[in-house]
């Protein structure tokens, strides 16, 4: 098994942890869509999708945890619910299905799932530290994602047939939003790196300052030698 106690290994393992959070949030969105739609067949489809996403989230989390324990990784980011909002997987103001029409929601799911599946496939290929069993689990998840894409594309195709102009508009808008989300995430990572560097530099400077103050205080309160003590005692008379 490859030793992954390095930045690349940490990045790939954290990617699996991030996929877990993304899938969990996607499950929440799909469950909300099922609650909001009046089409019972569509609601059932959303619920099946949500169940898949929750199952995927559990599998991603378990694999990332197993890999981290197996290779002694200690610097992984914690899996916290608040990250769902910080990473913009969920919007605290409203759910996606509440903001978009059913047609635009279908376009959104199709484009987002395709991007996620391609990114996920690249992660599987690059990861040389996961076991064969874990890789097979990830490949099964990818099969589920491709099935989700197929269902979304079928809905999008029906929409494109009778409203081609609106379909084109929605596609452009959703691709633009996806691009913007990716840019924001990359800048967020850069900001985190800069913040960590500044924090470490500040800690070093503060440590040196404390040592300097301690040294100065020690010199100012240095006890006099015996001759100096006698001299000072004579001056007091």
Q: Read off the pLDDT of residues 101-121 as tens digits, 9 standing for 90 and up.
A: 999 999 999 999 998 888 888
The predicted-structure confidence for 18-55, as pLDDT tens digits, reads as follows 889 999 999 999 999 999 999 999 999 999 999 999 99
Residue whose C-alpha is closest to residue 187's, from 84, 77, 87: 87
Answer for the pair 34, 48: CB distance below 8 angstroms, yes or no: no
Answer for the pair 28, 36: CB distance below 8 angstroms, yes or no: no
- Which superfamily is assigned to 7-162 in CATH? Ferritin, core subunit, four-helix bundle (1.20.1260.10)
Q: What is the mean pLDDT of the chain?
A: 80
Give CA–CA dist 110/108, Å, rounded. Answer: 6
**Has residue 4 got a pLDDT over 70?**
no
Q: Residue 85: which pLDDT band, with cuts at 50, 70 and 90?
A: confident
């Amino acid at each position: 098994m490859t030793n992954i106690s390095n930045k690349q290994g940490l990045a790939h393992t954290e990617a699996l942890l991030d996929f877990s959070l993304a899938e969990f949030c996607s499950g929440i969105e799909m469950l909300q869509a099922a609650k909001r739609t009046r089409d019972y067949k569509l609601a059932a489809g959303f619920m099946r999708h949500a169940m898949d996403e929750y199952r995927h989230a559990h599998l991603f989390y378990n694999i990332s945890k197993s890999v981290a324990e197996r290779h002694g990784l200690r610097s992984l980011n914690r899996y916290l619910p608040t990250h769902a909002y910080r990473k913009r997987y969920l919007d605290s103001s409203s759910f996606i299905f509440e903001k978009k029409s059913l047609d635009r929601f279908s376009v959104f799911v199709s484009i987002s799932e395709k991007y996620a599946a391609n990114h996920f496939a690249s992660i599987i290929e690059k990861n040389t530290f996961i076991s064969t069993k874990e890789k097979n689990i990830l490949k099964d998840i990818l099969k589920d994602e491709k099935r989700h894409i197929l269902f979304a594309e079928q809905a999008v195709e029906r929409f494109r047939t009778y409203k081609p102009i609106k379909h084109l508009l929605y596609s452009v808008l959703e691709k633009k939003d996806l691009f913007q989300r990716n840019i924001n995430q990359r800048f967020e990572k850069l900001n985190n790196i800069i913040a960590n560097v500044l924090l470490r530099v500040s800690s070093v400077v503060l440590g040196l300052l404390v040592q300097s103050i301690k040294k100065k205080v020690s010199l100012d309160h240095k006890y006099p030698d015996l001759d100096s003590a006698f001299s000072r005692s004579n001056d007091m008379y």
